[in-house]
Amino acid sequence: MSQQKNTLGVGMAFMATIFFIFGFVTTFNITLSAKVKEVFQLSEFMAQLVNGVFFFTYFLLSFVCGTIIKKIGYKMGVIMGLFMVGIGSFLFFPAANIPSYPFFLVAIFIMASGVVFLQTAANPYVAVLGAPETSSGRLNLVQALNSIGTTIAPLLLSVFVFTSAASAMGAKAVQVPFLIIGTLVILIGIGIFFLRLPEISTQGGEKKKSVWKYPHVILGAVGIFCYVGAEVGTAAMIVPYLTAPHLGGLTTAIAAKYAAIYWGGAMIGRFFGSIMLSKISDNTKKYTYVALVLLFAFIAGWYITGYSTNDGLIFLGISAVNFLAMLLGRSRTSITLAVFAVIAAILELVTMGSSGMVALWAVISIGFFNSVMFPNIFALSVDGLDNSEMSMASGIINTLIVGGAVVPVLMGIITDNVGVRWAFILPVFCYAYITFFALVGSKKR
């Protein structure tokens, strides 16, 4: 029993590292669209092709990745993903030297292909790495660690890419960060190859009916489309929204820091999710963890905003509201998902109809309520499947991450033609569908 726990612990530690990596890489590219727009003098629509290419890769490759991983195993799928992320990162060096926007998009496509392998292998691995009833808690935990990566990436961009000195360097400002990313992921891939990790079977004892015949899998995949589209679209619009003179009027560097807070909110919410959706029976221990997360929230908000106590306290207050919303879910995955989707939709509407500090904190707060959506939608979508069906279901679900390509590009078109404020109407519709899936579509048939 002790050896089994140790093996599962190694597996979870390994997964935590992978989730951090693809969280960092994903958000680095999302926030990079603002730099690309500046360097190549693009419209908002053209700049959002950075996100379009990155997330369209999920549509092209996720189903194929699910098939490949079923044959080679989860571990080799992750190693393949890491090497592809490394190769894509190295290609940014010649792309910046030219400089060439199409070459940038090619590098992003290769890097994104690696992230698709990581995502397709990692989520089902975590879901089956332990008791089925605690899969949502495990997914929330690794997604929280993923959010540490998503929070750090915009911060590094604000320091190394969005400064005045970096602006003078043009496209070359991204060379060093991507060389570092490429080197690290290649080294991690080599290290993982030599590690002994718990094996998760991809085979079943008997032939099962196609996962396409499970309505909750398909409806969950559409839920992922809406969630990723809303999250990435909102994140991609934060910098244009907060730098607009009539809304926030912030500099790009400061706006990028607030983008980091948006992702930091998702991190805090996922830590709450991992605690409240777990099977921790000792309430004293559970609420001690909650208190530590709230303390961490204040420190994170204070630090990210340049040691602003006022902003740290606001971030702490929103964290407390997020936790209360978690309690409304009564530790039920579907109810928690519905509550968060409704609140996120309301915050999008407030973002559309306000300005100044209200607008700033409304759009930032949406990150908190995106927090548990991916792990909860995924857990509800694969509920009841066996190991032989997991990789294929994951491939189908991850294919619909293409929402991160479609929604931001549509929001870019709305921004160019009507104004950035009106772009936030699209996520409202996305969250409405997620509410439907949580309450109705996720029921197993």
User: How many residues are listed for the chain in this entry?
Assistant: 445
| pLDDT at site 168 | 61
Structural domain of residue 344, as residue ranges?
2-195+211-441
- Whether 316 is covered by a domain: the verdict is yes
DSSP state of 98: T
| pLDDT at site 370 | 94
Cα 209 to Cα 86: distance, rounded to the nearest angstrom: 37
- Whether 200 is covered by a domain: the verdict is no
Q: How many domains does the chain have?
A: 1
- Whether 206 is covered by a domain: the verdict is no
- Per-residue model confidence as pLDDT tens digits over 185-231: 899 888 888 877 666 665 554 455 567 788 889 999 999 999 999 99
| pLDDT at site 19 | 84
- Whether 203 is covered by a domain: the verdict is no
- Whether 332 is covered by a domain: the verdict is yes
| pLDDT at site 205 | 47
Positions of the chain with pLDDT under 70: 1-9, 11, 133-134, 136, 158-171, 197-210, 248, 277, 387-388, 391
DSSP of 140-154: HHHHHHHHHHHHHHH
Domain at 33, CATH number: 1.20.1250.20
| pLDDT at site 120 | 79
| pLDDT at site 371 | 87
Cα 139 to Cα 274: distance, rounded to the nearest angstrom: 7
- Whether 37 is covered by a domain: the verdict is yes
- Per-residue model confidence as pLDDT tens digits over 379-397: 899 887 876 677 678 778 8
DSSP of 101-127: HHHHHHHHHHHHHHHHHHHHHHHHHHH
Identify the CA nearest to 50 among candidates 248, 236, 265.
236
- Whether 311 is covered by a domain: the verdict is yes
- Whether 374 is covered by a domain: the verdict is yes
273-279-283-287 Cα dihedral, nearest 10 degrees: -20
| pLDDT at site 298 | 96
